Structure 1
Amino acid sequence: MLQNHAIAVVCSSNQNRSMEAHGLLSKKGYSVKSYGTGSVVKLPGRAAHQPNVYQFGTTYEDMYQDLMKKDPHLYTQNGILNMLDRNRRIKACPEQFQKAKEEFDIIFTVEERIYDAVLEELESRGTASYRPVQVINLEVKDNHEEATLGAFLLLKLCETMSRVEDLENEIEDIIQDFELHNGRTLLHTVAFY
Structure 2
Amino acid sequence: MTYVSDLRIAVICSSNMNRSMEAHAFLSKKGFDVKSYGTGDKVKIPGSAADKPNIYDFGTSYEEIYLDLLQKDKALYTQNGLLHTLDRNRRIKSHPEKFQECVEKFDILITCEERVYDQVLDFMENKPPTDNSIVHVINIDIQDNLEEATLGAFLISDMCAMLAAAEDLDNDIEDVLHNFEEKCQRSILHSIVFN
- TM-score of the superposed pair, with normalisation by structure 1: 0.98
Checking the alignment, whether the CA contact within 8 Å between 1:8 and 1:35 is kept in structure 2 is yes
- Residues 27-64 of structure 1, C-alpha deviation per residue, up to 9 Å, x if partnerless? 10000000000000011000011001100000000000
Match of 2:77 among 70, 75, 85: 75
Checking the alignment, whether the CA contact within 8 Å between 1:2 and 1:161 is kept in structure 2 is no
Q: Which residue identity lines up with residue 7 of structure 2 in the other structure?
A: H
- TM-score of the superposed pair, with normalisation by structure 2: 0.97
Match of 2:123 among 121, 124, 131: 121
Shift of 1:83: 0.3
Structure 1, unaligned stretches of length 5 or more?
none
Structure 2, unaligned stretches of length 5 or more?
none
Partner of 2:56: 54
Q: Judging changes above 3 Å, is the alpha-carbon distance between structure 1 residues 147 and 48 closer, same or farther for their aligned structure 2 residues?
A: same
Match of 1:17 among 19, 44, 63: 19
Report SS of the residue matched to 1:4: coil
- Measured in 2, the distance between the counterparts of 1:33 and 1:70 equals 30
| Number of residue pairs matched by the alignment | 193
- Residues 58-81 of structure 1, C-alpha deviation per residue, up to 9 Å, x if partnerless? 000000000000000000000000
Please give the root-mean-square deviation of Cα atoms over the aligned residues, in Å: 0.9
Match of 2:156 among 154, 157, 172: 154
- Residues 140-169 of structure 1, C-alpha deviation per residue, up to 9 Å, x if partnerless? 000000000000000000111121110000
- Measured in 2, the distance between the counterparts of 1:125 and 1:64 equals 34
> Is 1:110 aligned with 2:112?
yes
Partner of 1:176: 178
- Measured in 1, the distance between the counterparts of 2:132 and 2:172 equals 20
Partner of 2:168: 166
- Measured in 1, the distance between the counterparts of 2:65 and 2:129 equals 37
| 1:124-135 to 2 correspondences below 5 Å | 124-135=126-137
- Measured in 2, the distance between the counterparts of 1:4 and 1:23 equals 18
Question: Once superposed, which parts of structure 1, at least 4 consecutive aligned residues long, lie more than 6 Å away?
Answer: none
Residue identity (%): 55
> Is 1:141 aligned with 2:143?
yes
- Residues 93-144 of structure 1, C-alpha deviation per residue, up to 9 Å, x if partnerless? 0000000000100000000000000000111103231110010000000000
